[in-house]
Amino acid sequence: MPLFRSQVTYEFCIDAPDMEQAHKIFQREHTAAIEDDRCAIKGEVEMELVEDSTQFEEPTLDEVPLNALDHTLRERLASDDPDPAH
C-alpha cells in the first residue's frame, strides 16, 4: 500500500503572559488541542505521494503512519517491501 504525506496548517489561540510562555505552552499542549478540536484548520489539506524521507521533519520519521499497525515511517521507507503488513 502506498504512503501519502499530508500537510495541514492549524491555527491556535494561546492564553499566556508573554511570547516565551506562549511558545512553551504550545510545545506542551498542541497535540492535545488538536485531539480536542480546540484549533482550526486553515486552508486545504494537502496530500502527496511519499517518495523518500526528505519529505518529512526528523521527528515524524519515528511515528507510525495513520492507518498503519506497528512500523514507523522510517522503517517503512527503509524496507524493501513498501507494505510490511503483507
Using 50, 70 and 90 to split pLDDT, how confident is the model at 62? very high
Domain ranges across the chain: 50-86
| Residue 64, pLDDT score | 93
List the alpha helices (DSSP H) in 1-86. Answer: 19-35, 58-61, 73-78
Provide the whole-model pTM: 0.66
For 76, counting Cβ atoms within 10 Å of its Cβ (0-12 exposed, 13-18 middle, 19+ buried), the class is buried
Q: CA-CA distance, 6 to 49, in Å (whole number)?
A: 9
pLDDT tens-digit profile of 13-57? 999 999 999 999 999 999 999 999 999 999 999 999 999 999 999
User: By C-alpha distance, which of 32, 1, 78, 50 is closest to 14?
Assistant: 32
In one-letter notation, the amino acid at residue 36 is: D
Q: How many CB atoms lie within 10 A of CB 84?
A: 14
Using 50, 70 and 90 to split pLDDT, how confident is the model at 79? confident
83: pLDDT strictly greater than 70: no
